Structure 1
């Protein structure tokens, strides 16, 4: 039986790769659409794009969608490879040789080495995604700038991951049956802390943020905020034009760290009325407490996630632990197994999470119409967003199901058309 288990990792990896590549090919070839829009309708992509532009947008979107499904399967295979090849156990032994007794030191060494290994294994696919973005004109990033962001993400992820792994192993050791509950309880304040510090600590590591320089536009936005009863004194712009031609705006943070942010590409490509509609959408998230609802969803989802992981984790370690050189349930070398379970469960739950996100986004669109009374500006802004970001306005249903956290551009324009007729 042990020999049978020893040979399971390779065929499982091959099945995962074949499945992800099959899904990628299906998505790339799928020509279905979410919304059926008649010619001439404002929601029809050929109304605001030439046939060449629309074909280019479809080609780019299908390529990126196919790469997404391929990368999901590849990530799972990487985790299994690190386990099955004994690499995780070797990293654990290396960490023990440096810090024989200090558990936090062992976790630190292991996590740094493990993150470096993952980055190297996933580097070819990550680089190819960057090349696709550059070739289609979506990204302006040079290779050195892309590498700098990659290394920044590696450092940030490593620093944030070390205490989580250390706490999880500590809880596993001290409370083998209830470790998942203690980890969840600890994750609640940690999640809140991360939401608070992200806008003021983490985001500035990647880009430069400054108060909106256009004072006339700033006055219009703040007037809109006061009408929405939002206690805001500032709006921020971020220098994304050095990296991308895409458009975006967002709101993040909680309490004193809450920020409304506009990409400078949005400021360059949209007129004031279109920007005000976008701001009305972002204010809708604030007024309707979407960030707090999202936080509650993260807390509830994390509880379910850690419970399911705890149930599966113990059984898999009992079944395959010896083959993977996992010595006990609180062994550092089991980290890739936990990450594999997290990735699989996140992918499985993504359709539900996306559905809830789309609900919030549609609600914010409704609020934008309510506060600006200008659906026409919303229609124009979405049309420009699709053209400049090469975002397929009307993607295949399966892509929307697994990937879209917003209603499709065609769906959003269709809704605004209905509001304009009222």
Structure 2
């Protein structure tokens, strides 16, 4: 179930749009949207195109295998009766029923971490290193995994304690109140994450004074976005991907750019990225995300509330599970939610992709840098397939594809720029 919590946090902390390089301008008698788009899309060719496609298409299988491994790990914990032993240990430690679920989660989270560690090492380190997307050595990478584990050991017991309090008090409608509990945790995570969690992985410093900062401040001021603090964080130590975000809620709202964005891109690209990120804030995507996730989680908890008692009735004695309020049921709940979220992946991807597309349109209107936006879209080809088929994009892409974004930018250019010029972007740097 830790994996489900991390999914919530990962989706909740809305990521930014990446960026890089320069090109020469040439005049053209007429501006053709498709021709202008192909000029960008065709900059990715040969080995680089094959590498990008292989990496991203391989991720399709990771979705399946990751779900299967998650289900298998929870089955092992159930079938071996480790879950019942974790429960028995919690009951020996304290007689307070409200604390027992929180104590149970400590060995459960650690066991899940250890059992999935070989898969995590392959997908999170060796595969990333194989495709040139990892800057950390193994020791540094593993250190970050341990930090993530410690965070889970703090947050997850609190979440589980709250959910089981609801199960005990409202055994028939707990899934409704449980949805509210998870939504509150999402809200708190979005508000406090930028201040207390993000700095555990990266160092944040004020952006230096200069024309680029002035541009960002002016863009933020146009929409009354607090811009007293604009931070640059050292994500180049982990990878070379470009990103930025407007994160936090209320007093914790902050604008952050990673150092890759400033070091690998031109000012028009930075402006395009920040226009997109400001769009998430202005369009209320944080609140939309909370509402949509609450609905999706609510359906998932309803499925759990319907299915879990039936499985307990059939297999509970073999697993050592007494009833739904028994902490030993946690792996069963996690197993059902893992299968549910796997089945819901296309819907989740589409919901996020629609939100990102809205922010793209806002960013184009705000930054008015269609060619900077197109160059940024091409940067994503380092780790995202540039031109998928429509069904493929619907099923597997949680952001619009690079080709979709480039065409959007060129169409915006045709519609909003007086006498738009055809540009030859040349080869964008990929190192």
* TM-score bracket for the superposition, by shorter chain length: 0.7 to 0.9
Task: Compare relative contact order (CA 8 Å, sep 6+) and give the higher one, 1 or 2.
Answer: 2
Output the CA distance in 2 between the equivalents of 1:402 and 1:363: 19
Unaligned runs of 5+ in 1: 1-37
1:40 Cα deviation after fit = 6.6
Residue of 76, 95, 111 corresponding to 1:117: 111
Greater mean alpha carbon deviation, residues 41-50 or residues 307-316: 41-50
Change (3 A) 1:142 1:383: same
Q: Does the alignment pair 1:373 with 2:332? A: no
Following superposition, the deviation at residue 272 of structure 1 comes to 0.8
Of 265, 270, 280, which aligns to 1:270?
Answer: 265
Does residue 1:103 correspond to 2:97, yes or no? yes
Please name the residue that 1:405 is paired with.
398
Aligned-residue offset at 1:108:
3.7
Structure 1 residues 42 and 182: CA distance shift in structure 2, 3 A: closer
- Native 8 Å contact 2:304 2:336 kept in 1: yes
Change (3 A) 1:96 1:396: farther
1:215 paired to 2:210: yes
> Which residue of the partner structure matches residue 78 of structure 2?
83
Q: Which runs of 5+ in 2 are unaligned?
A: 1-32, 416-431
| Matched residue SS, 1:323 | helix
1:255 positional shift: 1.5
Is 1:296 aligned to 2:291, yes or no? Answer: yes
Determine if contact 1:45/1:393 at 8 Å carries over to the other structure.
no
Alignment CA distance shift 1:413-1:260 (3 Å): same
Residue 128 in 1 paired to residue 122 in 2? yes
Q: From 146, 164, 168, give the equivalent of 1:169.
A: 164
- CA RMSD of the aligned region, Å? 2.1
Determine the C-alpha separation between the residues in 2 that align with 1:157 and 1:43: 45
State the TM-score, normalized to the length of structure 1. 0.85
Deviation at 1:153, TM superposition (A): 0.8
In the superposition, relative to structure 1, how do residues 45 and 274 fare at CA in structure 2: closer, same or farther (>3 Å)?
closer
CA distance in 1, matches of 2:64, 2:367: 38
Contact 2:101 2:327 in 1 (8 A): yes
Partner residue in 2 for 1:56: 51
Q: TM-score, normalised by structure 2?
A: 0.83
- Do 2:273 and 2:373's aligned partners in 1 also have CA atoms closer than 8 Å? yes
Partners of 1:362 and 1:63 in 2: CA distance: 24
Residues of 2 paired with 1:40 and 1:369: CA distance? 20
Distance 1:69 1:418, change over 3 A: same
Alpha-carbon separation, structure 2, partners of 1:192 and 1:132: 33
Tell whether the 8 Å contact from 1:277 to 1:372 is kept in structure 2 after alignment: yes
1:419 aligns to what? 412
